[in-house]
Structure 1
Amino acid sequence: MSETDERNRRWTLALGIDPDAESGFALSDSDRRMSDALTALYGDGDDAPKKGRGGLGGSAPRVAKWLGDIREFFPAPVVQVIQKDAFERKGLRQMLIEPEFLATVEADVNLIADLVSLRGVMPDKTKETARIVIAKVVKELMERLERRTADAIRGALNRSQRTNRPRFSDIDWPRTIKANLRHYQAEHRTVVPERLIGFLRQQRRIVDLEEVVLCVDQSGSMATSVVYASIFAAVMASLPVVATKLVCFDTAIVDLTEELADPVEVLFGVQLGGGTDINRAVAYCEERIERPTKAHLILITDLYEGGNADALVDRLARLSVRGVNVIVLLALTDTGRPSYDPALSAKVAALGIPVFACTPDQFPDLMATALKREDVAGWAADQDIKLIRPEA
């Protein structure tokens, strides 16, 4: 294809020009499908697709075909952007109740939040499909976050002592590989370790365990943070070195601690949407903290309080004075850019409580810092994270 033809092709696709029109460039069958998929969502100058062109319509099989087309023509990050636009521009949230749609969708954290928020209106058949989609994303997130989180917060390991007979989960892989480089097998492109180096596990009594309470705002604006918080809670609950609780709230409170062995079940227990009563949720958590000087309360909320804001500030101050390590995360999302109540955030920050947002990749190091009772605000500053400042 000549340079001129390639330029005309790109302009035809970009502008959504009907290739059947006199001014249109003759597209290949593959390009025509790509053009139809884009026009179905974005149109070509008006809201109604032209005759013979694509349209999402109201049928799930047609949407499934459309999703198949965009997944074929675009990489996953672009697919997710197009899906998000489709939800907003074409009202496709309602289409999530169709299992045919769910079977073809490119799943991500935002979709999981949509599925969780709509599960109350899903028929049973669709719920099973939604569960499969959620399980797939949860598995991917666990693979991404579990090992790093476990390594960061495993407080039962005394890293000043080593052992040559470690359990598999306690192997210090960097030191083990370095110590066995002379056993590199070129034909297999791997190191065969002759000697394992690991961390010596300390025996810890239950009464010595650190308590971690994740108190998570499940109002609609915090949907993605809820998904990530649930994953981290499940990871921490699997570690014998911390006692982890997960409490989600809007105007009601859902204690999901007993479900933490199954992160998918945790997400199906979340009730996204509704108002917000942060003070009531913190009061619930306060009652369940057994050892304040061993407790860490991670409050994940945008601090848009629908309840008693003054009582909330007083309660957080009391918890801090009692020795609870209180941290407020305004968001736990990939962007780390929160929308929050600046006035209430400043009041909480004035108590000496760190108030900021972080990404999932930063969360393991945050928890390690918190569990060691080190300066969380200083850690956040070192990460170039914007801390909320007290009122002047």
Structure 2
Amino acid sequence: MTDEHERRWRMALGETEDAGALSDRDMAISAALDALYQDSGGKGAGLGKSAPKVSRWLGDIREYFPGTVVQVIQKDAFDRLGLKQMLLQPEFLEALEADVHLVADLVSLRSAMPAKTIETARIVIQKVVDELMERLEKKTAEAIRGAINRSSRTNRPRFNDIHWPRTIQANLRHYQADYQTIVPEKLIGFLRQQRRITDLDEVTLCVDQSGSMATSVVYSSIFAAVMASIPSVQTKLVCFDTAIIDLTEELEDPVKVLFGVQLGGGTDINRAVAYCEERIERPSKSHLILITDLMEGGDAKALIARLMALKASGVNVIVLLALTDTGQPYYDKDMAGKVASLGIPVFACTPDQFPDLMATALRREDAQSWAATEDIKTVRPGEQSHE
């Protein structure tokens, strides 16, 4: 066995006594892991619930491990040691590696936070929101703007409106052999028309805020804020459990939106869809993106009938079982199969896929076919649980 193999085995087994193969850094890493993963009766002082001790420990794991591993270890700490109460302490909160899951935890705990902790929580949430906006905003805006109809041709298009195949074809005679390129004399593209309010597409994100949908709520809020900044579409955000919160007027501030969400509680999907239905003015120009695990606590039969009526009226209805980075969604398979039988696409997607999904929806293209090209598993009509 090589020294490196011995080192790795000792680290994996927690054998640090007489461990000549381990450096001081290795010993520190082992101690940080032992503090969390050692049984209470074993060696190691453990973390307990001392904020200073936990904050120092968080600093250690952030030094020794990459961010993705830190997030896993943090989650294990919350699960094993019940550290969610620690989030109520600003000094602890400041030491955490911020990600979308932490935002969901903070949103769910905000009613229990003292005022000084809420301010710290806002700062942490703002940081995550800014990072997500930077990652998702450009792609979302480009996808949605690109899906809006362009009807009038022009020889003076803006750069983003140039139709490159037609421009190249019209300028082939201007090919420059020395430079192996075409110098276009004439640009061909489409002139975006100023669209009247009655021509605008309406997009309603109707989002289940029950506890299991926490990360989907965070991402949905970010996307709603991005889409609300695009004048080509009218965007609404409605969150629900057994109650309904219309956050459309708050979309200029994603952090304010997230603090308006109340995670947890029951689920009345039918009531939420009814609320959205009442506010749809032009069904043929409307898109309802229902983001839920379909665990209906209200009137399931009425929900199916309502979705059927919305689709028949011309509303473009899509059901997302989750909007998260990873993982298979947990959902009501029987209900999902019934919804799919209405001809409504039912599947989960990642935040990186969502902009293209919205572009597909706005073009009124087949979301089911789009999902197939993305290798996304969709729910089959009539699918039932066999558990």
TM-score, normalising length from structure 2? 0.88
Aligned match of 2:179: none
**1:47 aligns to what?**
40
Whether 1:158 and 2:150 are equivalent positions in the alignment is: yes
8 Å contact kept, 2:321–2:329: yes
Q: What's 2:12 paired with?
A: 14
The whole-number CA distance in structure 1 between the counterparts of 2:332 and 2:292 is: 10
Structure 1 residues 317 and 70 mapped into 2: Cα distance closer, same or farther (>3 Å)?
same
Shift of 1:171: 7.5
Partner in structure 1 of residue 25 of structure 2? 30
Change (3 A) 1:387 1:5: closer
* CA distance in structure 1 between the aligned counterparts of 2:253 and 2:243, rounded to whole angstroms: 22
List per-residue Cα deviations over 1:74-99 (Å, max 9, x = no partner): 11111111111111111111211111
Q: Distance in 1 between matches of 2:57 and 2:189?
A: 51
Instruction: Give, in whole Å, the separation in 1 of the partners of 2:209 and 2:366.
Output: 28
Map of 2:317 onto structure 1:
326
- Secondary structure, counterpart of 1:299 in structure 2: strand
Q: Deviations over 1:107-166 (max 9, x none)?
A: 111111111111111111111111111111111111111111101111556288567574
Q: Tell me, what secondary structure is at the counterpart of 2:235?
A: strand
Unaligned runs of 5+ in 2: 177-185
Q: Following TM superposition, by how much is the alpha carbon of 1:26 offset from its aligned partner in structure 2, in angstroms?
A: 6.6
Distance 1:40 1:165, change over 3 A: same
Percent identity over the alignment is: 70
| Pairing partner for 1:146 from 124, 129, 137 | 137
Does residue 357 of structure 2 align to residue 366 of structure 1? yes
Work out whether residues 149 and 364 of structure 1, in 8 Å CA contact, stay in contact via their aligned partners in 2: yes
Q: Deviations over 1:193-223 (max 9, x none)?
A: xx99986432100111000000000000001
Q: Deviations 1:279-320 (Å, cap 9, x if unpaired)? A: 000011011111111100000000000000000000101111
CA distance in structure 2 between the partners assigned to 1:375 and 1:146 by the alignment = 24
Return the letter of the residue paired with 1:284: Y
In structure 2, the residue corresponding to 1:364 is in which secondary structure? helix
Q: What is the CA distance between 1:335 and its match in structure 2?
A: 1.6
Which amino acid is 2:79 matched to?
Answer: E
Q: Distance in 1 between matches of 2:262 and 2:322?
A: 18
Return the match for 1:239 from 201, 218, 230.
Answer: 230
Distance 1:125 1:171 in 2: 49
Matching residue of 1:297 = 288
The separation in 2 between residues aligned to 1:196 and 1:334, in whole angstroms, is 40
Partner residue of 1:189? Answer: none
| Conservation of the 8 A alpha-carbon contact between 2:153 and 2:188 | no
Q: Give the one of 273, 276, 282 matched to 1:285.
A: 276
- 2:182 matched to which residue of 1? none
The amino acid across from 2:240 in the alignment is F
Matched AA of 2:8 = R
1:215 alignment partner AA: C
Maintained 8 Å contact 1:248/1:256:
yes
Matching residue within 238, 249, 252 for 2:243: 252
Matched, 1:266 2:257: yes
**1:173-192 alignment to 2 at 5 Å?**
none
- Determine whether 1:216 maps to 2:207: yes
SS in 1 for 2:150: strand
1:158 aligned counterpart, secondary structure:
coil
Residues 1:160 and 1:42: Cα distance change in structure 2 (over 3 Å): farther
Partner of 1:227: 218
Residues 171/59 of structure 1: CA separation in 2 closer, same or farther (3 Å cut): farther
Q: Judge conservation of contact 1:276–1:304 (CA < 8 Å) in 2.
A: yes
Query: Deviations for 1:307-358, whole angstroms, at most 9, x for unmatched residues?
Result: 0000000010111111111110011111252111011111111111111111
1:109 is aligned to: 100
Structure-1-length-normalised TM-score = 0.87
Counterparts in 2 of 1:13 and 1:198: CA distance versus 1, 3 Å: farther
Cα distance in structure 1, aligned partners of 2:63 and 2:294: 41
Residue 386 of structure 1 pairs with residue 377 of structure 2: yes
Deviation at 1:12, TM superposition (A): 2.4
Q: What is the DSSP-based 3-state SS (H/G/I as helix, E as strand, rest coil) of the residue aligned with 1:356?
A: strand
- 1:389–1:246 distance in 2 versus 1, CA, 3 Å: same
Q: What is the RMSD computed on CA atoms of the aligned residues?
A: 2.5
8 A Cα contact 1:166 1:196, kept in partner: no
- Aligned equivalent of 1:134, options 125, 129, 137: 125
Distance in 1 between the 2:248 and 2:187 partners?
36
For structure 1, the 5+ residue unaligned runs are 183-194
Structure-2 change in CA distance of 1:143 and 1:164 (3 Å)? farther
